Amino acid sequence: MGLLTNRLCLVLLLIMVVYVGVTTTEAKEDPELRQCKHQCRHQRQFDESQKLGCERSCEEYIEEKERIRKWREQRDELGRDETDNNPYVFQEEQFRTHFSTQQGSLRVLPKFTQRSQLFKGIQNFRVLLFQANPHTFILPNHWDADAIFFVAQGRGTVSLVFTDRRESFSIEQGHVMVIPAGVTAYLINEDNDEKLVLAKLVNPVSNPGKFVTFFGPGGRNPESFFNAFSPEVLEAAFKTSSARLERIFSQQREGVIIRASEEQIRALTHKEGSHSVFGSKSSKDFSPVHLLRQRPTASNEFGKLFEIDISDNKVLQDLGIGVSFANISQGSMNTPFYNSRATKVAIVLNGKGQFEMACPHVSKSDHHHHQHRNPHHDSGRSQQGEERETPIHYEKISSELRPGTVFVVPPGHPFVTIASQNNNLEVICFEINAENNQKFPLAGQKNILRNIESEAKELAFATSADEVDSVFENQDEFFFFRGPRQWRQRGVAVV
């Protein structure tokens, strides 16, 4: 009897320990997450797999909410006005250092989906800013990503290394160039005085949203990937003693970007002709394109728009990336317009201004931040998971623009950018999924609303077609106009 009692006490003790442990764990768990998971487990129409998926959605929702909370704390520490912060705009201080030396740096913007799940469609892309001091050399390296860059400032030489040749190209401000994944490249800033500045869009090919830089030539800093191999493997591969290999792969300690002498710069910038072999891409495929020497798509006293026609560029066409450059004159603006298919990732290079966009995905209650919806508290979904009818509302997304600001415009979203009264606004744009994309202007010449039939206008606006036409046909400029302040300062009468 005593033994049975002792065993019963032991079992009860174990149950209490487990219960206390579970209770303690649950107490540490976010109450909202606990409630969400509880509702997942009690969804009768869900099988076990669906319940687990539902719980993972709960965890993702809480993680996203926590990321936004931390981001808001950082924002508040910076003392920024809330209207400057929304999921579509990133300021320069949000870039993180990928590598840095006394001679230059490479900074990268965090993954778009760290800000919001609205960016799932472009979650694989990253934005980078690179700069190198005059007379510098960037060590040969390759990435597990395709890189498209725009030369924002300076001039230099890029060399691409293939199994059968080396191709070197001069680059200068305005050039666009693609370096494909896996191709070893090195770069020289040959200018005596000016920094070389590149704005890059990177598309990883292996790990979504993540890329790695691989250095073969190198040593301790940057570390050469050859140092990861066994000495006996390297000896056999190079038919060289390990002592000699150790000397080769241990000398470099100055970093990725190093100073070069004038003699070295002259030698490195001397272009040698190279010929492609059958079956390989030709020099023309990789040659930089001077974007600013293209015929402007739109041009007047209020601004200029330069674009690369990707149908004429095989490499960009294969990547589905368009590149454009807008120079908006001080006090001016571009027409409100939207892209049919492309997501625009824009980087402000020079000047200041304003960005506005109509967005159906955020509301004032979100404080201009899109969050995951709790799957059981989403007013737009029924218990069966079907979307309900909800009133359509468009919130104004707005932000100040300054050098280093990045803003994202999804397809179908009308937006406008306005230059400040004191400076031109220069913006480089990478357009993702650009193949067959069309721009649809909403004001000025060629605005699509002009082509709607009179009866359709009367039905849509509940007023006469003449009154509608008096508005949509009043602006006679194409694409670039006087900005709001400039327009009013000229005393133009409001019709």
Q: Which fold, 89-225+253-289?
A: Jelly Rolls (2.60.120)
254-301 pLDDT, tens digit per residue, is 899 999 999 999 888 865 444 333 334 445 678 999 999 999 999 999
Residues in contact with 44: Cβ distance below 8 Å, sequence separation at least 6, in sequence order: none
Which residues on neighbouring strands pair with residue 281, listed in sequence order? none
Name the superfamily (CATH) of residues 290-376+391-489.
Answer: Jelly Rolls (2.60.120.10)
Place of tokens 């919806």: 373
Looking at 205-288, which runs of residues are DSSP E strands?
Answer: 213-214, 257-259
| 3 state DSSP class of 79 | coil
Please name which of 129, 128, 111 lies closest in space to residue 120, comparing C-alpha atoms.
Answer: 111
DSSP β-bridge partners for residue 41: none
Q: Are 71 and 368 in contact (CB under 8 A)?
A: no
Taking each helix axis from N to C terminus, what angle separates 454-461 and 465-472, rounded to the nearest 10 degrees? 90
Domain boundaries of the chain, sorted by first residue: 89-225+253-289, 290-376+391-489
**Helix, strand or coil, per DSSP, at residue 399:** strand
Contact status, residue 419 vs residue 330, Cβ threshold 8 Å:
yes
Place of tokens 């807008």: 326
Q: Count CA atoms within 13 Å of residue 290 on its CB side.
A: 10
Positions of the chain with pLDDT lower than 70, given as ranges: 1-29, 44-47, 49-50, 53, 56-57, 60-61, 63-85, 270-284, 363-390, 490-495
Residue matched to tokens 């003699």: 263
Residue pair 184/216 in contact by the 8 Å Cβ criterion: yes
Tokens of 132: 């190198």
What is the rounded CA–CA span in Å between residue 74 and residue 96? 14
CA distances from 76 to 129, 238, 292, 354 (A): 25, 56, 39, 21
d(CA 465, CA 459): 9
433: left (phi over 0), alpha (psi -120 to 50) or beta: left
How far apart CA 335 and CA 483 sit, in angstroms, is 10
Three-point CA angle 338, 355, 147, nearest 5°: 70
Output the pLDDT for position 33. Answer: 81
Radius of gyration (C-alpha) of the chain in whole angstroms: 28
User: Which position has the token pair 């994309």?
Assistant: 437
CB atoms within 10 A of CB 138: 23
pLDDT, residue 175, reads 97
Give me the residue label for tokens 């015929």. 295
pLDDT in tens, 273-282: 443 333 344 4
Euclidean distance between CA atoms 382 and 389, whole angstroms: 10
Tokens of 166: 């080396």
Tokens 């990321």, located at residue: 67
d(CA 277, CA 287): 17
User: Which residues, in sequence order, are CB contacts of 61 under 8 Å at separation 6+?
Assistant: 33, 36, 371, 372, 373, 374, 375
Q: What pLDDT shows up at residue 10? A: 46
User: Which three-class secondary structure state does DSSP give residue 227?
Assistant: helix
| CB-based contact 335:442 (threshold 8 Å) | yes
Instruction: Please give the single-letter amino acid code of residue 194.
Output: E
Q: How many CA atoms lie within 13 A of 457 on its CB side?
A: 17
Separation between Cα atoms, residue 11 and residue 5, nearest integer Å: 10
Tell me the C-alpha distance between 10 and 250, whole Å.
62
Nearest Cα neighbor of 98 from 150, 63, 138, 152 is 138
Encode pLDDT of 360-416 as tens digits.
887 654 444 444 444 444 444 444 445 555 678 899 999 999 999 999 999 999 999
In three-state form (DSSP H/G/I as H, E/B as E, the rest C), the secondary structure along 166-187 is EEEEEEECCEEEEECCCCEEEE
Torsion of CA 227, 233, 237, 239, to 10 degrees: 100
Output the six-digit token pair for 262.
Answer: 């004038």
